[in-house]
Amino acid sequence: MVRGEDQSCNVPYYGQLTDIVKLQCTEGNKVLLFKCDWYDMSLEGISYKRDQHGSTIVNTSRKLKTIEPFVLACQTTQVYYVNGIKDPTWNVVIETKPRNLYEMPSDKEEPYQEEENLHYNANVLQEENGDDDIDWSRSGV
């Protein structure tokens, strides 16, 4: 799944992965491209719809005719499709999180600790207890 950036609407693009292309660039850099058969997402109700739970249901019989089947791997989100019970051409889209993928915060904020300056008198006076002894017992326990 690729998040859509169309001017008219912001509908994501769904497709089926058909090939993985690895481009070797200079100095050991690599770029991964996914080649996909994209589903047509142009018409709500015919190409896709939303159910009462907010899930997206895609008509997999309607393919998008495009000359640009490739997408950068970093732009995609992994999904899988569950076949519809009434009509197997309509599949429910389920977003997943790949194993061993941890969403780390992108901010590199330094931990902030407020220093607390307590100004207190180090010469603490003890209350006199008759014999100048401190009573360490707790009553009522």
The pLDDT tens digits of the residues spanning 95-132 come to 887 777 676 666 666 666 666 655 555 555 555 545 55
Would residue 38 count as lying in a domain? yes
**Measured CA distances, 22 to 25, 73, 84, 99 (Å):** 10, 10, 34, 22
Give 82's pLDDT tier (boundaries 50, 70, 90): very high
Would residue 63 count as lying in a domain? yes
Would residue 39 count as lying in a domain? yes
Would residue 134 count as lying in a domain? no
CA dihedral 42, 43, 46, 52 (to 10 degrees): 110
Q: How many domains does the chain have?
A: 1
Q: Whole-model pTM?
A: 0.62
Token pair 């992994």 in the structure block, residue:
78
Average pLDDT, the chain: 80
At 124, list the tokens: 């603490």
**Domain range spanning residue 37?**
15-95
Q: How far apart are CA 112 and CA 14, in angstroms?
A: 42
